Chain A
Amino acid sequence: MKPAQFDRRKFLRGAAVAGATIPALGATLAPTPSRRAAAADAVSLEFWTPADDPVGSKIITKLADDFNNTIGKEKGIQVNTRIKPVTGNNYVQYTTAMTSSGSPDVVMTYVYDPVVAWAANGFIQPMDQYAKAAGIKEEDFFPITWDMINFAGHTWGLLQEFDFNQFWWNKSIHSGEPPKTIDELDQMAKEYTKFDSDGNLTQAGFIPWLHWNGSVTGWEWASMWGGRWYDADNRKWTINTPENQKFLEWFVKYADMLGGRDKSDAFEAAIPKTYGDIFQTGVIAFAQEGEYIPPMLKAEELTLSYGITQTPTAQGVPAGTAYTTGGNLFLLPTKAPHPQEAAIFIQYMGSGKAVLDWCIPNSNIPPTKAAANDPSFTQQLPELKPWLDTLEANHMVPPSQSPQLPIFDQEFPNLIDEVTYKKATPADALTSLDAKIADAVKRFQANHPDWQGE
């Protein structure tokens, strides 16, 4: 037999075929996570967490390791923790991953903002059957935390902790009793607001729009005026209401008291970089601060004399009213490859021990009554008593549970800016925002007829 002639053309053709085929073969044969898991005879879960801070990452990794060594070992589940940092509430990487066939099995968030929109748009799936099987009951939770994870007729995940602010006062500036009503707060704030000869602020009594671009403070202070941006009971937006208008007019009053929004911005911006918060510098009498601040003050060894109490409210609004700014959640993506095993892991992360392992070192509020009243929690974090008292009062305002929240989130800080920079009147700003959200609701409902409420 004549040997085949090996010429340049044949070589090129062979090389090209091989070049085109090898990557495809490689992609087909590469060990995917599920294949790796099968090889190890255990279900391999991909768990995405934003915990990239030193304390948070250590705790989350340890919790996952503990799971792997106990329940995971017993049930044949191996959790791979993937730390995926985020900036603020920007969970885009998580969103896009959840659309793909390589979706994570469990996602954790540090914020509440994207959760309802994820649920309404089908990114995460209800956990009703898993919650029922695990014996998760409403009476174990605070009413507010139960409402946060149960909406639109389903249970959507488990909370690790949740956040809300309390009213702090600087005892070096204000040595008496703290204000209980907004009228008292206004009087005291005026007394403690001081300017230099050029009209620049040297000390402020109170700046109501401090922190978070005005958005959280807007939700929070509207609540103190009896206003609600979203009625969670009836699942409706309630933007253009007299209470919300009163709240915005009150913001305008403070813009005047502080010499204009630009003066207060300059005052806030001029604090030394070493301080994360203007209240910590001692130049402001009153501020709303979170439960995670006390250990920070201790760590920074700041000699700040302060008191913590419930936030002052307007006439007719009950003392102990507070707005939930968010929390850490564990959620089950719709395209999770192993939903059953993922639910077991979520249940573990939401269990009393795991919650306390997180909440005590981070000074966070647990979502369940048993964990919040656990002696290990109350004894190690006595400064959080005002928060527990507020929970006991049971006047907590839940965050919005509307899929339109991301749109509202973009518009709302601008509304606060427009009003406090006096580019729009409160009435006009509310009318405009109300119309925009109503349009968004209409568009959404037209294409999502199954979703309950606005």
Chain B
Amino acid sequence: MATRIADSGGIPLVDQPFRSNRWRRLRRGDLIPGLLFISPWIVGFAWFQLYPIIASIRYSFTDYNMMQPPIWLGFANYTRLFTEDDLFRKALANTAIYALFSVPLDLFVAFCFALLLNLRIPGRPIFRTAFYFPAVIPSVATAILWSMLLNTKGGLVNVALKAVGLPVIPWLTSPTWTMPSLILLSVWGIGPIVVIFLAGLQDVPRELYEAAKLDGAGPFRLVRDVTIPMLSPVILFNLVIGIIAALQVFAQPFVIFGGGQGGGGGAAGGPLNSVLMYSVQLYTVAFQQFQMGYAAAMAWILFAIIFSLSLLSIRFSNRFVHYE
């Protein structure tokens, strides 16, 4: 039997034998070696990803401390999260606030930098490298660096403020300033977003700018009416990735605001739990309080939130995303 392979307009391109005996023999013959070749990956995926994913679903319905067999609880962990646990609610609210402010801020700043880096200026490769450079520094190192810079005890940021006659700000010790500090800190990691925007900018056809200029468009209108619509798929991509990253933020708050620092505190939520983030709370519950089942339930709720927000972003993207 032959199948006519056609292009999207329905015009037949070529007659091809479909699932011919030869093809079937070839496929069957190559199947086993093929599977064996990728078996290290399959084993790795099954053992380190698939099994933990499936196990975590099961654990989320149990009381499990990692040493003793899990005890089945049904939906008790989920019920407790929503009805009793105020730290869960606090962590969820803090994370939502962080995402709400950091994602648009990062997108805006990254977009502006990408526009600047797209200009033909001397030393452009150096600037591009410089802006990407923070992305290759491990997040823990970045967090330690910023906790030193923002430290009220002689941190360079406050030294600079003091030098110009401004009052020092308790960036990391006041519940009023901790969240703004963390949001501002997120801008440090915009390097990859800038690079993606830059790649998008290279793809915007020159003719569109030229046509707009002929119609009398100034620089602002060029950005608003040409660049942004043409970059909208890239903006959507960065938005979705940004939401996912913001909702999972861990290293910065964990390292800067505690991680169990001090003799008695296991919390990393900062003063008044003002920067208690969801992933940090999940980690604390799992590894410091040994409530692995409860933490698994938290993880699945976070997954559901991220999945829903990503779907919503994509679902409503057709209103503002322009595809060529």
Contacts of B287 in A (CB 8 A): 92, 95-96
Q: Say whether B258 faces chain A, with CB atoms less than 8 Å apart.
A: yes
Is B265 touching A213 in the complex (CB atoms < 8 A)?
yes
Q: Say whether A431 faces chain B, with CB atoms less than 8 Å apart.
A: no
Q: Say whether B288 faces chain A, with CB atoms less than 8 Å apart.
A: yes
Given A90-B260, A212-B265, A213-B262, answer yes or no on A407-B289 (Cβ-Cβ < 8 Å): yes
Is A122 touching B65 in the complex (CB atoms < 8 A)?
yes
Q: 18 other contacts beyond A99-B67, A113-B264, with CB at 8 A cut-off?
A: A13-B36, A16-B35, A19-B36, A19-B37, A90-B288, A92-B288, A95-B66, A96-B287, A99-B66, A121-B68, A213-B262, A215-B265, A219-B264, A262-B170, A265-B173, A270-B153, A326-B263, A407-B289
Q: Say whether A123 faces chain B, with CB atoms less than 8 Å apart.
A: yes
Contacts of A121 in B (CB 8 A): 65-68, 290
Q: Say whether B87 faces chain A, with CB atoms less than 8 Å apart.
A: yes
Is A414 touching B260 in the complex (CB atoms < 8 A)?
no
Partner of B267, one of A23, A114, A274, A413: A413
Inter-chain CA distance A419–B67, complex, in Å, is 37
Contacts of B284 in A (CB 8 A): 410
* B contact residues vs A (CB 8 Å cutoff): 29-30, 32-37, 39-40, 63, 65-68, 71, 84, 87, 151-155, 168, 170, 173-176, 258-267, 269, 271-273, 283-284, 287-290
Of the A-B pairs whose beta carbons lie under 8 Å apart in the complex, a sample of 21, sorted by A's number, is A19-B37, A88-B263, A89-B265, A98-B67, A111-B263, A122-B67, A163-B263, A265-B170, A265-B174, A265-B271, A269-B151, A325-B263, A325-B264, A406-B288, A409-B264, A410-B288, A411-B87, A412-B264, A417-B175, A417-B272, A447-B71
**Restricting to A218-276, which residues have a CB under 8 Å from any CB of B?**
218-219, 262, 265-266, 268-275
Contacts of B176 in A (CB 8 A): 262
Contact with B along A265-298 (1 / 0, CB 8 A): 1101111111100000000000000000000000
Contacts of A87 in B (CB 8 A): 259-261
Is A216 touching B154 in the complex (CB atoms < 8 A)?
no
Inter-chain CA distance A163–B264, complex, in Å, is 13
Chain B contact surface mostly: loop
Is B174 touching A262 in the complex (CB atoms < 8 A)?
yes
Is B174 touching A89 in the complex (CB atoms < 8 A)?
no
Q: Say whether A211 faces chain B, with CB atoms less than 8 Å apart.
A: yes
Name A325's closest neighbour in chain B (CB-CB): B263
**Restricting to A397-454, which residues have a CB under 8 Å from any CB of B?**
406-407, 409-414, 417-418, 421, 423, 439, 443, 447
Contacts of A262 in B (CB 8 A): 170, 174, 176
Count, A-B residue pairs, CB within 8 A:
174
Inter-chain CA distance A117–B290, complex, in Å, is 8
Distance (whole angstroms) from the CB of A417 to the closest CB of chain B: 5
Inter-chain CA distance A268–B154, complex, in Å, is 12
* A contact residues vs B (CB 8 Å cutoff): 9, 12-13, 15-17, 19-20, 23, 87-90, 92, 95-96, 98-99, 111, 113-114, 117, 121-123, 163, 211-216, 218-219, 262, 265-266, 268-275, 325-326, 334, 406-407, 409-414, 417-418, 421, 423, 439, 443, 447
